[in-house]
Amino acid sequence: MTRRRLEEGPAREAKAATREGAAFRLAIGGLAHETNAFCHPTPLRAFRRLRGEEVLAAHRGVRDYVGGMLDAAADLGATVVPVVDAEAEPSGIIAAAALRSMLDVLVDGLRGAGPVDAVCLALHGAGVAEGCEHIEEETLAAVRRVVGPDVPIAATLDLHGNLTAGILRDANLLYGNRLYPHADSYERGIEAVRALARLLRAEIRPAMALCRLPLLIATSTSDLDPVRTLNEVCADLERRPGILDVTFFHGFGNTDIAEMGASVLAIADGSAEAAQAAAREAAAAVWARRGEFDPPHPGAAEGVRQALAAVREVGGPVVLNDSSDNPGGGGPGDGTHLLRALLQAGAERAALGFIYDPETADQAHAAGAGATIPVRLGGKTDCVRAGLPPSWLRVHGEPLVADAYVKALSDGRFVLSTPMGRGMREDLGRMARLLLPAGPSPSMAAGGVDVLVASVRTQVLDAEAFLLHGIDVRRCDLVVVKSENHFRAGFRDLATRIVTADPPGLTSSRLRDFPYQRVRRPVWPLDPETTF
């Protein structure tokens, strides 16, 4: 259990009182990465880095953390000072030079912004760099050194953050997702800025307390129990007088650092003891239901069998998600296990997205729509880092060799419609819709499986990319997506049923299979005798 010291003293109260009823200058920025330690290192070029007005252009009108911050600031009449926003697709440990470069840009941007009254950052909580197991601690410390002790700092965090005592040292307010899929990022950005305004007006004196659990959670959607009920526990605690916020963080089990896992963060008004009690109570509720997390899921062949059975039972579209090759958790996005199982099962009226394969996308564009081309699809990215057991090499499957019909081509540009990130512009580079023959005696005449091939590695969030290539998923029997849970926000209202498959892969829910080296033991479920 850890607590953040209350901001007290006449200087602090006088500073806040002078701002009551007045607009304030708010610096906004971000540095976010979800680090999968079992992947190759992440270089600087992997990050999308925006500065100044670019930050505003990318996030205005978008349902994400920064979009919420901007709308809240506008409502409050605050002057926004955009600094820098850096983010990369989940991947391996960040190169030390890359982290240093991004922190330097953030610090220089803050210094160049002039005096600000408050800072709000979009962070993650599971970022790891060479020589730094918690980049969020480094980021907040760097910002604190620039703005000094009296300027309040708030940050939004991903539900999968591995929170530690260090992250509380330099922040006044921390707000994390409650929902997975993260459909509440926009709202949490709003809450962070509004709380900063209340702090500046001396309406609240936030005290934060963190309760960490010896518990690793692979993946657990908030659409279903136990998380749905545990979020209700947190909401009930927030109804107590003086409790401002209670958030259950699932943690990210692929970082492989000493301090990783689930936790509860509580914020109380003026009482560290009240925050501590709320955090501990919610954590106890989480621990009591630990056995309900991450139920076992079938492999590729059985997952396809269950999905096709569901189609016969309830009709389409049934959604089959590939949880173990999820680019949103560090997976390469080019695994072939499920695709091969679909073809072998003779699936028809089926569509799969996305296979990350720039080489095949270029080949399809060179041949043109209407051509039939020989492909070696997927299985090209050995994203597992060196030093892991040989069994992890080629863990996502070999390339699929077949003749493919080029049905449609695009530039891969579309706008998300999902509640999670609605309005965000996506650019997946050259894309192709390929038709692959299915069945024991495959031929184009017999139909087959439509596969979307992308040139940028990312998970499927909604149906827009399918529409871009002429596929109305509502008319499909089976839709296969490479995503762990975020797809639910865009597909839950379309799917007649959702089936999860867990073939071998870097984002598998079978945590006991991972070759952990650094995580502090004992920890559940790696060590069933673990106590809390």
pLDDT at residue 389, rounded to an integer: 77
CATH code at 6-292: 3.40.50.280
C-beta of residue 464 within 8 angstroms of C-beta of residue 416: yes
Based on DSSP, count helices (H) and strands (E) in the chain, helices before strands. 14, 20
pLDDT at residue 439, rounded to an integer: 67
First to last CA, the chain: 12
C-beta of residue 26 within 8 angstroms of C-beta of residue 193: yes
pLDDT at residue 3, rounded to an integer: 40
Q: Give tens-digit pLDDT for 313-360.
A: 999 999 999 999 999 999 999 999 999 999 999 999 999 999 999 999
- Is it the case that residue 42 has pLDDT exceeding 80? yes
The answer to whether the Cα torsion of 310, 311, 316, 322 is positive or negative is positive
Contacts of 95 (CB under 8 A, 6+ apart): 41, 42, 43, 44, 129, 130
pLDDT band at 397 (very low <50, low <70, confident <90, very high): very high
Mean pLDDT (whole number) for 137-162: 98
Name the percent of the chain in helix, strand, coil, to the closest 5.
30, 25, 45
C-beta of residue 526 within 8 angstroms of C-beta of residue 515: no
pLDDT at residue 295, rounded to an integer: 83
Q: Give tens-digit pLDDT for 23-33.
A: 899 999 999 99
Q: Give tens-digit pLDDT for 275-311.
A: 999 999 999 999 999 999 978 899 999 999 999 999 9
- Is it the case that residue 446 has pLDDT exceeding 70? no
β pairing state of 350-356 and 448-454: parallel
Contacts of 121 (CB under 8 A, 6+ apart): 28, 29, 30, 31, 139, 140, 143, 153, 154, 155, 156
- With a pLDDT cut of 90, the percent of the chain lying above it is 89
Annotated domain spans of the chain: 6-292, 300-508
Considering the chain, what is the average pLDDT of its residues? 93
Q: Give tens-digit pLDDT for 163-181.
A: 999 999 999 999 999 999 9
pLDDT band at 391 (very low <50, low <70, confident <90, very high): confident
Q: Give tens-digit pLDDT for 474-516.
A: 999 999 999 999 999 999 999 999 999 999 999 999 999 999 9
pTM: 0.93
- Is it the case that residue 11 has pLDDT exceeding 50? no
**Closest residue by Cα to residue 506 from 90, 45, 48, 180:** 90
pLDDT at residue 4, rounded to an integer: 42
pLDDT at residue 27, rounded to an integer: 98
CA distance linking residue 401 with residue 482, whole number of Å = 20
The pair of three-digit structure tokens given for residue 383, joined into one six-digit string: 């994203």
pLDDT at residue 383, rounded to an integer: 62
